[in-house]
Amino acid sequence: MAIVKFTANLKRFYPELEPITAQGETVAEVLREIENHHKGIKDYIVDEADELREHVNIFIGNELIKDREKLGDAVKPDDEIYIMQALSGG
């Protein structure tokens, strides 16, 4: 199973959030698995059309995913996935 790691700013909403293992052959499938463990977290990552939110990036290893709309990038069982939210403000 892939290991999914999150930026610390999501802990504000999910204090128990730690790296987790998730099954799935695509990023979309992994996100559904994460949602099963942390209800509502997917809303911080994708929009109403299930597309990656503008200020969120997902990396598989060191590579930024390419499919921000369908989240169809392939995930292998030994991958590390990083979900990062950009911080904005002035």
Domains of the chain: 2-85 (3.10.20.30)
**Could you tell me what percent of the chain has a pLDDT over 90?**
83
Q: What order of strands is seen across the sheet that includes strand 56-60?
A: 20-22, 2-6, 80-85, 56-60, 63-64
> What one-character-per-residue DSSP string does 15-49 give?
TT---EEE--SBHHHHHHHHHHHSTTTHHHHB-TT
Q: What is the mean pLDDT of residues 43-70?
A: 96
**Could you tell me what percent of the chain has a pLDDT over 70?**
96
Q: How confident is the model at residue 25 (pLDDT cuts 50, 70, 90)?
A: very high
Q: In which region does residue 40 sit, left (phi positive, over 0), alpha (psi from -120 to 50) or beta (all else)? A: left
